[in-house]
Amino acid sequence: MDQQSEWSADQLSILSENLSYYTTCVNIVKRIHTEGPAESKKLPKFPSLPKRKLLSLYGEQAKKRKMMTPEELHQYLITKEIDVTKTARKEVFIFSASDITTPDIAVAKLQEGYRQIQRQEATSMCFNLQYGYLLDVTFELYAKEKESGLQGQTWDDWLKQNIGISSSYSRKLREISRLLRPYMLRVSTVGQPFIEVYSMRKELKAMIVYSEEIRRYWSTQNQPIILQLETMFSVTFQPRAPARARKNNIDLRLLIYFIVFNLYIL
């Protein structure tokens, strides 16, 4: 083997890391297949993803998004503001292929559809900020019960069992809520997917501290926020169980009052 065909020590490390990861994943899948559905009710813990991908061996790196300056991000978000005084129109998405007979019709349909998607994303942003705040309040209650010995589960296990979300997703919601909730009345008019907003969190922090003018802009409400509450909470409170019976439960009464109150004051 000539010198050019030999892997370097760093490349061998990348290969070893990926080989270990994929071998472990294959073994887990084989074990699940062998044990059958009766023994596979709980998903096994998979290993962490390799820090360096195999593509890096071929000189291919993931393209990084260009970071925006505070002023650039400010102007970019302004272009994404959408009229949220109206609700998203579902009928825009009801059509057949035979309706799209010309490029002009297609463009008009796509433009209107995108406006509705942005409107829905803006509404979702409002909900995400409120939900992140609700998670913060819930975690404080959880921590108090944990400290007093009334809570035996980890925060991650509690979330998965009671809500069906991971602590990782919870952290993202809470982080963005802490960052943007003070500006919710204006940020909730921005039609951007949550995942994109989260990827900009460092830039958003820089933008907020950049100037008083920018902070003032995003603190100013320019249109009323419409929250569709088609169904309100219907709750029947049961007598409070003994402490032992509440070992793995959070008292949700305060949370219900909290979210209803916050949704109505917007």
User: What are the pLDDT digits (tens) for 156-181?
Assistant: 999 999 999 898 999 999 999 999 99
Same domain, 88 and 216: yes
90/259 Cα distance (integer angstroms): 27
Q: Do the domain assignments include residue 256?
A: no
Helix H, strand E, coil C: the string for 77-130 is HHHCECCCCCCCCHHHHCCCHHHCCCHHHHHHHHHHHHHHHHHHHHHHHHHHHH
Q: Give the model confidence (pLDDT) of 10-19 as tens digits.
A: 888 888 989 9
Mean pLDDT in residue range 94-110: 87
Same domain, 82 and 208: yes
Q: Do the domain assignments include residue 260?
A: no
Mean pLDDT in residue range 232-241: 33
Q: Give the model confidence (pLDDT) of 139-155 as tens digits.
A: 999 999 988 988 888 99
Q: Do the domain assignments include residue 171?
A: yes
Q: Do the domain assignments include residue 165?
A: yes
pLDDT at residue 254 tops 70: no
Q: How many domains does the chain have?
A: 2
The mean pLDDT value of the chain amounts to 79
Q: Do the domain assignments include residue 98?
A: yes
Same domain, 31 and 133: no
Q: Do the domain assignments include residue 180?
A: yes
Q: Do the domain assignments include residue 24?
A: yes
Same domain, 109 and 212: yes
Same domain, 114 and 192: yes
Q: Do the domain assignments include residue 145?
A: yes
- Three-class SS of residue 208? helix
Same domain, 162 and 209: yes
Q: Is the pTM of this model over 0.75?
A: no
Interhelix angle 253-265/103-147, rounded to 10 degrees, is: 140
Confidence of residue 64 (pLDDT cuts 50, 70, 90): low
Same domain, 84 and 216: yes
Same domain, 77 and 46: no
Confidence of residue 229 (pLDDT cuts 50, 70, 90): very low
Same domain, 107 and 17: no
Which percentage of the chain shows pLDDT scores above 70?
A: 78
Residue 15 exposed, middle or buried by CB count within 10 Å (0-12, 13-18, 19+) = middle
258/42 Cα distance (integer angstroms): 33
Query: Which H/E stretch holds residue 16?
Result: helix 9-35
Same domain, 82 and 49: no
Same domain, 35 and 162: no
Q: Give the model confidence (pLDDT) of 188-215 as tens digits.
A: 889 999 999 999 999 999 999 999 999 9
Domain with 54, as residue range(s), is 3-58
Same domain, 129 and 20: no
